[in-house]
Amino acid sequence: MNMKAMLTAAVVAGFGMATAGFAQTEVKFGHVGEPGSLMDLSATEFAERANEKLGDSAKVVVYGSSQLGNDKAMLQKIKLGTVDLALPSTIMSSMVPIFGLFEMPYLVQDREHMKKIRDEIVMPEMAPQAEAAGFRIIGVWENGFRQITNNARPINTPEDLAGIKLRVPNGEWRVKMFETYGASPSPMAFSEVFVALQTGVMDGQENPYAQIYPSRFYEVQSYLSQSNHVYTPGYVVAGRSWDKFDPEVQQVLQETAVEMQDVVYEIAAGLDTDLLQKLKDEGMEVNEVDTAAFIEASQPIYAQFSEAVDGAADLIAQAQSLAPAE
């Protein structure tokens, strides 16, 4: 190779190295929500806002519809550092016991109540326990108030759940709650639910409107019972890969996740009204449950949780004390 060719090769190689050095950092953000779900809308809005601030320094890329695995798989990847951000919900109670607080039926009264719980309980008292387990919570969003759908009959009281095969997310307290009500609950990955309902492997499931409608459960379910039995937050979590990001990138991600908190509540409230009407329009038979009967039937779960998890009784009392006045 002559001198000119060698110089040319060196310049090209150097340019390649420089280009690699300035390659944009990808922030992988995974969730299980389908297009149009609250998770999808929230994560997409977060990415748009964060990317505008990040410029060329990094780019948030959202992977919805369980593309990076179910919640359990994504949280394992969060701990390994192969996924950067995830949006788990119920499964957090299986990873960090104190998060079973949000498995207590009828604990959260409304979103204003949840804001107080978020600021006075979740972030100061619960988030440190999550971080000790490998999950850094940078924002508390929403999955929503959960409703029951099934193909057997309208659910008015807990007794109506007797014998119904009900898909539930992976959380021991959700299983215990529906066992107490008389159902036959089984944990199952969200991505598998539609087919399970379609084939009759499961009779029903429970989820917020913002999961029920985008997942088209109305195609394979006849009855929708408005129970609002549990409010589930969605947690924006980072893990092992967090420290690889520049401090400026970390700050943008953290600030935007917090900025999105109240935005998510606004989106969620609008979806509740809009999607309930759409589910009715799709032909689902809708009824309201006997809330008092469900609250009474839920007392054993509070007692079991308080006994099983250190500090649970105090957090329940604290959360209840933050509820709006009757």
pLDDT at 293: 98
pLDDT at 2: 52
Show Cβ contacts of residue 168 under 8 Å, excluding neighbours closer than 6 positions: 174, 175, 178, 185, 186, 187, 188, 205, 206
Please name which of 234, 279, 221 lies closest in space to residue 41, comparing C-alpha atoms: 234
Residue 116 has pLDDT above 70, yes or no: yes
Phi, psi of 185 (to 5 degrees): -80, 145
pLDDT higher at 24 or 212: 212
Average pLDDT, stretch 195-202?
Answer: 98
Beta bridge partners of 184: 165
pLDDT band at residue 24 using 50, 70 and 90 as cut-offs: confident
| Least confident interval from 14-23, 82-91, 221-230, 243-252 | 14-23
Average pLDDT, stretch 176-184?
Answer: 97
| Per-residue pLDDT tens over the stretch 27-71 | 999 999 999 999 999 999 999 999 999 999 999 999 999 999 999
Domain boundaries, the chain: 25-321
From residue 193, give the alpha-carbon distance in Å to each of 101, 143, 199, 222, 243. Answer: 25, 17, 10, 15, 36
Average pLDDT, stretch 226-244?
Answer: 98
pLDDT at 16: 44
> Which residue shows structure tokens 């001198």?
3
From residue 101, give the alpha-carbon distance in Å to each of 92, 173, 220. Answer: 10, 9, 31
Could you tell me which CATH class the domain 25-321 is placed in? alpha beta
pLDDT at 239: 98
Phi, psi of 288 (to 5 degrees): -100, 140
pLDDT at 6: 46
Residue 20 has pLDDT above 50, yes or no: no
pLDDT band at residue 21 using 50, 70 and 90 as cut-offs: very low
Residue 121 has pLDDT above 90, yes or no: yes
Distance in angstroms (rounded) separating the CA atoms of residues 263 and 267: 6
Distance in angstroms (rounded) separating the CA atoms of residues 136 and 201: 36
